Amino acid sequence: MAPAASAGAEAGMSTVQRRRPCDRILIDINTQCDYLLPRGAVPVLNRNDIIPNIRKLFEWARGRGVPVISSLDAHRPDEPLNGLPRYCVDRTPGQKKLPFTLLPRRILLDGDNTLDLPPEVLTRYRQIIFAKRTRDLLGNPKADRLLSEIVSPHLILFGVVAEHCVKATALALLIRQRNVIVVRDACGYWNAPDAELAMRQVEAKGAFLLSTEQIISMETLPLRVVPMTEPHDGEPVRPGALVRSPTVASRDRVAASARRQSGGRWLA
């Protein structure tokens, strides 16, 4: 895995621009050995069902040049885990990601309580991996900054555990007015009824629930939250750019205009 960027060395608020528009981003939650291998510390119950779909999503991302943002559970050896076996402990085999979930050009960013991101991060790397010590990926301030500011109409979420980390990350993104799609058949669970309830909750809050085949085959994905398209510092904003978020009032004007143009229906 690529080494983490040195704190502050490559920091900056410069706008990040991809070479080509990025209309969708995969968000890969905790696809790690302790969750997904049969001898892992806390394997999800439906691992045999979801691993082929996770593999398909990564193959699709490789073929289409879709950026991947990944989370990596990182627990300290002495960290209390609410009665669970120790899992995804720093620098253990169980913490490693499954090999097929790693892209060649990648970077690991630790949670050091700073907002620093490498310049041109989405141009230089195909996969950005954020270590986290909380359920929510956005508990890493660097991930929070990137996912709050990046312009991409579709954030496609999958991984484990559906009723915990996937749910927490989806809700955090929805609070930030992002358009969230959860790949239902690529989410692992410990408890099937709890996972089903989690899916209903995120759907009620505004997320779309799609299948792996729908993600791979659909040219146009559903859109509920209108992406930021206003000029930034005199320049038009392209998908994949990292910009300062517009004000709530500004975002509301964009959303109201889109609803008028679509006859009051959500855009698709």
- pLDDT tier for residue 83 given thresholds of 50, 70 and 90: confident
Phi/psi of residue 72, nearest 5 degrees: -130, 110
- pLDDT tier for residue 171 given thresholds of 50, 70 and 90: very high
Query: How is residue 232 written in tokens?
Result: 């930034």
Mean pLDDT calculated for residue range 86-96 = 95
Which domains does the chain carry? 24-217 (3.40.50.850)
- 181-239 tens-digit pLDDT: 999 999 999 999 999 999 999 999 999 999 999 999 998 899 874 444 444 444 544 44
- pLDDT tier for residue 14 given thresholds of 50, 70 and 90: very low
Does residue 258 carry a pLDDT above 80?
A: no
Mean pLDDT calculated for residue range 155-176 = 96
pLDDT at 15: 38
Cis amide prior to 161 (ω within 30 degrees): yes
- pLDDT tier for residue 2 given thresholds of 50, 70 and 90: very low
- 122-148 tens-digit pLDDT: 889 999 999 998 889 998 999 999 998
- pTM for this model (two decimals): 0.77
